[in-house]
Amino acid sequence: MTMTDEPDRPSPEQTLAPADMAFAIAVGIPPRAFSEQATRENAAYERWSAEVIEEEMRGWPSVEDVAVRLGVHPSAVRRLVDGEDLRSAAVDKVTVIPPWQLTDRGQLLPGLRAVLAAMPGDYGPYETQNVMTTPVEELDGKSPARALEQGHPVPAIVDWITWLGAGS
């Protein structure tokens, strides 16, 4: 798909009420941000971003790979996914597992069920992966996943995730 093959999208003028657009401009968003060109550029960026995310997810382990690491049958991993005890994604009709959920010792991350339950409802597997693998100042520069693996209290991480979700 090229920039000229854009799906039909409403322009900002069609989606924003005049008062909302006036407010956005009044607080410093330049009027050109609401142009048709900006709408096309944004759509192109969204497509590119989705392609980058999908490519990264292709590198995540499959259900079968995770089963080998955990020393269980793939059906056990599928039950964890079905029970929402393990986050997954579908890429090219293959179920993949965000790798942060497994420790370096080939076990499920301590507190995984509680962490997944605390994640904001609109966070998909990729956003959850980013939250759990990004170093956090409050955790002495460790990511939440690394902190849990090293014995950080699960309730403290869950509280942090809950706080994070309250801001989204």
Q: Would you state the pLDDT for residue 4?
A: 40
Residue 164 vs residue 94, higher pLDDT: 94
Encode pLDDT of 113-138 as tens digits: 999 999 998 899 999 999 999 999 98
Tokens in use for 128? 């959850």
Tell whether the model's pLDDT for residue 5 goes beyond 50: no
Instruction: Give the 3-state secondary structure of residue 142.
Output: strand
Encode pLDDT of 51-103 as tens digits: 877 888 899 999 999 999 999 999 999 999 999 899 999 999 999 999 999 99
Confidence of residue 8 (pLDDT cuts 50, 70, 90): low
pTM score, whole prediction: 0.71
Q: Would you state the pLDDT for residue 64?
A: 97
Q: Would you state the pLDDT for residue 167?
A: 62
C-alpha distances (whole Å) from 64 to each of 20, 60, 97, 108, 120 are: 50, 11, 10, 15, 28
Confidence of residue 35 (pLDDT cuts 50, 70, 90): confident
Tokens in use for 55? 């490519």
